[in-house]
């Protein structure tokens, strides 16, 4: 056999081998996702099979070459081993990295942020909006397992959820989410804060209830400690708090802009015009800064306050009823001028 006849098959084989090697390398390690685009999340739920995953990748324009991804997924035995979760698809991600991440179930935590809610129902809806669990899943868990959380009740379990940004997995269970919140709650109540509770003669839960009233009373954080001091003065004097926000909560009408005498007669444990002391639970989700405002309250002699007539959000404070009535009259006139009657 001539050298030429031997050389030709070798050249052909070498060419094929090189081509296969190049293609294999490209299939494994060439960018195939979000080519020069920003990172995105993809959610894989219980109903997602491989065909549905491909459709999601196409619909969200995440993938460049479907064939290479499908072929390598088959080789790496991913098509039959899909794991649910939220996965971060990174810019210029390769097939190999993508499949390795998906097959291992290596999710990227979701940033869960919440700052305001009036009731646990509202909070549950906000918290679960980015998660696999539903609002009812969380509420049912809390209802069935409330005794696991150190004496909390339905009226105050919202206290465990301190507003902040947390990292959790998309498919976190109601139990694990609540446990995480409870753990963060316990961390917040460090020895320094607990020591300050003794000075105001309140426990942790009571301090949060008071902070919820302060936060509802003023959006101005720089006067929150003064408002807190006023309510602490009233508690020490065994006076009714007479906090208007508790009436709005009791009425369950958050459109009220002007509290009237009829609201002061509402039969509710949250009506602080009727009942002395604190209501049975918070009247809103409480920012940490307002809890600290209660713990670091301003010492003064004020026992009355009224919103200022300039609608600045600040309050006029008084030590006696006569001065308070003058302040209140100014605000009532301002409300009338703006035709705010309810």
Question: Over 70: is that where the pLDDT of 16 sits?
Answer: no
Question: In 3-state terms, what secondary structure has residue 164?
Answer: strand
Query: What is the spatial distance between Cα 87 and Cα 108, in angstroms, rounded to a whole number?
Result: 5
Query: What is the spatial distance between Cα 119 and Cα 153, in angstroms, rounded to a whole number?
Result: 13
For 58-114, how does the pLDDT look when each residue is reduced to its tens digit (9 = 90+)?
999 899 999 999 999 999 999 999 999 999 999 999 999 999 999 999 999 999 999
- Beta carbons within 8 Å of 49's beta carbon, 6+ residues apart: 82
Sign of CA dihedral 10, 11, 12, 15: positive
Share of the chain above pLDDT 90, in %: 87
For 173-191, how does the pLDDT look when each residue is reduced to its tens digit (9 = 90+)?
999 999 999 999 999 999 9
Is residue 219 exposed (0-12), middle (13-18) or buried (19+ Cβ within 10 Å)?
A: exposed
- What is the pLDDT, as a whole number, of residue 193? 97
- What is the pLDDT, as a whole number, of residue 296? 98
pTM above 0.85, yes or no: yes
In the chain, list all ranges with CATH 3.30.1490.480.
17-104
Query: What is the spatial distance between Cα 333 and Cα 7, in angstroms, rounded to a whole number?
Result: 104
- What is the pLDDT, as a whole number, of residue 5? 59
Phi, psi at residue 287, to the nearest 5°?
A: -60, 145
For 297-316, how does the pLDDT look when each residue is reduced to its tens digit (9 = 90+)?
999 999 999 999 999 999 99
E strand or H helix at 41, and its extent?
Answer: strand 40-44
Query: What is the spatial distance between Cα 182 and Cα 217, in angstroms, rounded to a whole number?
Result: 26
Return the number of other C-beta atoms located less than 10 Å from residue 267's C-beta. Answer: 7
pLDDT band at 150 (very low <50, low <70, confident <90, very high): confident
Query: What is the spatial distance between Cα 268 and Cα 275, in angstroms, rounded to a whole number?
Result: 9
Query: What is the spatial distance between Cα 115 and Cα 276, in angstroms, rounded to a whole number?
Result: 29
pLDDT band at 4 (very low <50, low <70, confident <90, very high): low
Average predicted confidence (pLDDT) for the chain? 92
Q: Answer whether 251's CB lies under 8 Å from 266's CB.
A: yes
Q: Answer whether 156's CB lies under 8 Å from 280's CB.
A: yes
Query: What is the spatial distance between Cα 214 and Cα 283, in angstroms, rounded to a whole number?
Result: 10
pLDDT band at 22 (very low <50, low <70, confident <90, very high): very low
pLDDT band at 282 (very low <50, low <70, confident <90, very high): very high
Mean pLDDT along residues 237-253 = 96
Query: What is the spatial distance between Cα 86 and Cα 64, in angstroms, rounded to a whole number?
Result: 20
Query: What is the spatial distance between Cα 90 and Cα 270, in angstroms, rounded to a whole number?
Result: 50
- What is the pLDDT, as a whole number, of residue 269? 97
pLDDT band at 3 (very low <50, low <70, confident <90, very high): low
- What is the pLDDT, as a whole number, of residue 341? 79
- What is the pLDDT, as a whole number, of residue 288? 97
Q: Answer whether 303's CB lies under 8 Å from 234's CB.
A: yes
Q: What is the CATH number of domain 17-104?
A: 3.30.1490.480
Sign of CA dihedral 270, 273, 278, 284: positive
Question: Over 60: is that where the pLDDT of 11 sits?
Answer: no
Question: Over 90: is that where the pLDDT of 25 sits?
Answer: no
Question: Over 50: is that where the pLDDT of 143 sits?
Answer: yes
pLDDT band at 319 (very low <50, low <70, confident <90, very high): very high
């Amino acid at each position: 056999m001539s050298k030429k006849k031997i050389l030709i098959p070798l050249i052909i084989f070498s060419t094929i081998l090189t081509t296969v090697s190049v293609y294999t390398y490209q299939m494994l390690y060439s960018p195939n996702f979000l080519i020069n685009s920003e990172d995105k999340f993809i959610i894989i739920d219980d109903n997602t099979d491989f065909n549905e995953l491909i459709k999601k990748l196409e619909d969200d324009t995440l993938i460049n070459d479907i064939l290479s991804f499908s072929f390598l997924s088959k080789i790496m035995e991913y098509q039959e081993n899909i794991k649910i979760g939220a996965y971060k698809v990174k810019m210029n991600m390769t097939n190999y990295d993508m499949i390795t991440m998906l097959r291992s179930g290596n999710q990227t935590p979701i940033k869960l942020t919440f700052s305001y809610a009036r009731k646990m129902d509202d909070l549950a809806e906000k918290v679960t909006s980015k998660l696999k669990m539903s609002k009812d899943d969380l509420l049912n868990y809390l209802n069935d397992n409330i005794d696991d959380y150190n004496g909390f009740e339905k009226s105050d379990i919202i206290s465990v959820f301190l507003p902040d940004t947390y990292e959790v997995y998309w498919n976190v269970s109601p139990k694990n989410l609540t446990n995480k919140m409870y753990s963060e709650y316990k961390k917040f109540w460090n020895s320094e804060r607990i020591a300050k509770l003794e000075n105001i003669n309140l426990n942790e839960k009571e301090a949060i209830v008071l902070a919820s009233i302060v936060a509802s009373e003023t959006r101005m954080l720089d006067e929150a400690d003064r408002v807190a001091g006023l309510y602490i003065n009233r508690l020490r004097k065994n006076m009714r708090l007479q906090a208007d926000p508790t009436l709005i909560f009791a009425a369950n009408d958050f459109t009220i802009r002007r509290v009237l005498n009829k609201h002061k007669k509402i039969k509710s444990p949250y009506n602080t015009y009727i009942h002395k002391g604190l209501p049975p639970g918070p009247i809103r989700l409480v920012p940490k800064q307002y809890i600290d405002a209660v713990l670091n309250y301003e010492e003064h002699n004020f026992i009355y306050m009224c919103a200022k007539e300039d609608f600045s959000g600040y309050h006029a404070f008084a030590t006696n009823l006569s001065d308070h009535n003058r302040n209140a009259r100014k605000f009532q006139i301002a409300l009338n001028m703006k035709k705010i009657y309810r």
